[in-house]
Amino acid sequence: MHCLHTDGGIAVAHQDKEKVIHDYFRDHIGSAAPRDFTINWQALGYNQHDLSDLEVPFSQDEIKNIVYAMPSDKAPGPDGFTGAFFKACWETIKEDVMAAMNSLFTLNA
């Protein structure tokens, strides 16, 4: 983007454009609007669930179980490696797979 037009003028410098974008999304996404109505979850029969397990790093057993549950004859992604490859090479690649999964987990921290 070469520039951004704002109410205050035109942002050309990278830092100015960054601030304009940040302010825009903070004002639109980061603001809480008061609600006139709320949902009564108990009246709908909703049972509250403990989701705290979603906030812990992946375990090696968890990833291994997923790998071994994959179909052996299908590639899970565009790299072309099939489930059979992951299963046959698990002991060799498990540290690299765990590093990749934990890297994804820490992006959300």
Q: What is the pLDDT of residues 27-61, one digit of tens each?
A: 778 667 777 888 888 888 888 888 888 888 889 99
Residue 103 has pLDDT above 80, yes or no: yes
Q: Hey, what are 16's tokens?
A: 């100015």
Average pLDDT score over residue span 79-106: 92
pTM of the shown model: 0.51
Interhelix angle 90-107/60-69, rounded to 10 degrees, is: 110
Distances (CA, A) of 52 to 5, 42, 56, 78: 43, 21, 8, 32
107/105 Cα distance (integer angstroms): 5
Residue-level pLDDT at 31: 66
Q: Evaluate if residue 89 carries a pLDDT over 90.
A: yes
Reply yes or no on whether the pLDDT at 86 is more than 80: yes
Rounded Cα distance, 24 and 4, in Å: 12
What's residue 87's pLDDT? 95
Q: Is 86 exposed, middle or buried (0-12, 13-18, 19+ CB in 10 A)?
A: buried
